[in-house]
Amino acid sequence: MSYRPTSVAIVRMLVVAGAFVTLEILCRTSVINRITMIPPTEMVSALLQIVLSGKFNADIAFTIVNTAAAIALSVAGGFLVGAVLHAFPRFRQAAEPLLAAYYAVPVFVFYPLLIVAFGVGRAALIVMGALVGVVAMIVNTLSGLDRVSSVLMKTADVLRMNRFRKLILIRLPAAGPYLITGIKLAVAYSVIGIVAGEFILATAGMGKRIAFGYQDFDNRTMYGMLLLLLLLVMAINGALALWEKRLHSRFGQQ
């Protein structure tokens, strides 16, 4: 029933290209004025200028390192909390509504408190990113561990595996695809936490450069940096989504 993949891809490319060309024309003909948005081609040239001149390299590295640390914390912490909650179903049932409503509160309103606790700098931003990312990992760890089929667990019992071996050899691989989903979301949310923190108060970082560009009417820096940030996030997301799809087709959906 599926259409030829090449024709789908061609139409998709045309749609995306059409959107960019339309935006370019709207900007060039001043339907959208320059103070609001610069033409996409100028965004790209601003992006290239930022990357080639290297003048913001320190900011870019600052954000990337912090985000990586926050992701590591939220993935490890989220997995641990998720596994513990899964082991205590009663506790988990009570906690689930809290987890479900967590993302409705903009967690980074607590960022100033983190600054009081950790000072302005990396630590506050990393903790911020981890706090935003961790719950996505908890939720997906829970749903991953839920979906380990009972046949697999019975096999483990027949083979007289102990709890630890069960966890490493059976549960983890079987829950794998859902854990990747958790990691994917933790990445997206950690980025939100860190960039939001940088918007509010930071010594460096891509978010800070975007906010500065906005305040100074420096639209080239603002849009160039914004585009770079979005491309980085999309690249990571795309790679993880691909990995997720492969794991799902290998393990899941029996």
Q: What is the identity of the amino acid at 154?
A: K
The binder of other proteins chosen from 135, 195, 202, 204 (CB under 8 A): 195
Give CA–CA dist 183/74, Å, rounded. 9
Q: Which is nearer to other proteins, 71 or 174 (CB)?
A: 71
The binder of other proteins chosen from 15, 52, 151, 158 (CB under 8 A): 15
Contact positions with other proteins (CB under 8 A) in 90-129 = 90-91, 93-95, 97-98, 100-101, 103-106, 109-110, 112-113, 116-117
- Told to check if 25 binds other proteins by CB under 8 A, we report no
CB 194 within 8 A of CB 70: yes
- Told to check if 29 binds other proteins by CB under 8 A, we report no
Q: Residue 235 Cβ, how far from other proteins at the closest point, in Å?
A: 11
Number of Cβ atoms within 10 Å of the Cβ of 29: 9
- Told to check if 37 binds other proteins by CB under 8 A, we report yes
Number of Cβ atoms within 10 Å of the Cβ of 2: 5
Helix, strand, coil % (nearest 5) of the chain? 85, 0, 15
Give CA–CA dist 186/190, Å, rounded. 6
The binder of other proteins chosen from 78, 177, 205, 207 (CB under 8 A): 207
Ramachandran region of residue 201, left (φ > 0), alpha (ψ -120 to 50) or beta? beta
- Told to check if 211 binds other proteins by CB under 8 A, we report yes
Backbone CA torsion sign across 221, 227, 230, 236: negative
Query: If we measure between CA atoms, which residue out of 83, 68, 178 comes closest to residue 133?
Result: 68
Residues that bind other proteins (CB under 8 A): 1-3, 8, 11-12, 15-16, 35-37, 90-91, 93-95, 97-98, 100-101, 103-106, 109-110, 112-113, 116-117, 188, 191-192, 195-196, 199, 207, 210-211, 213-214, 222, 226, 229-230, 233-234, 237-238, 241
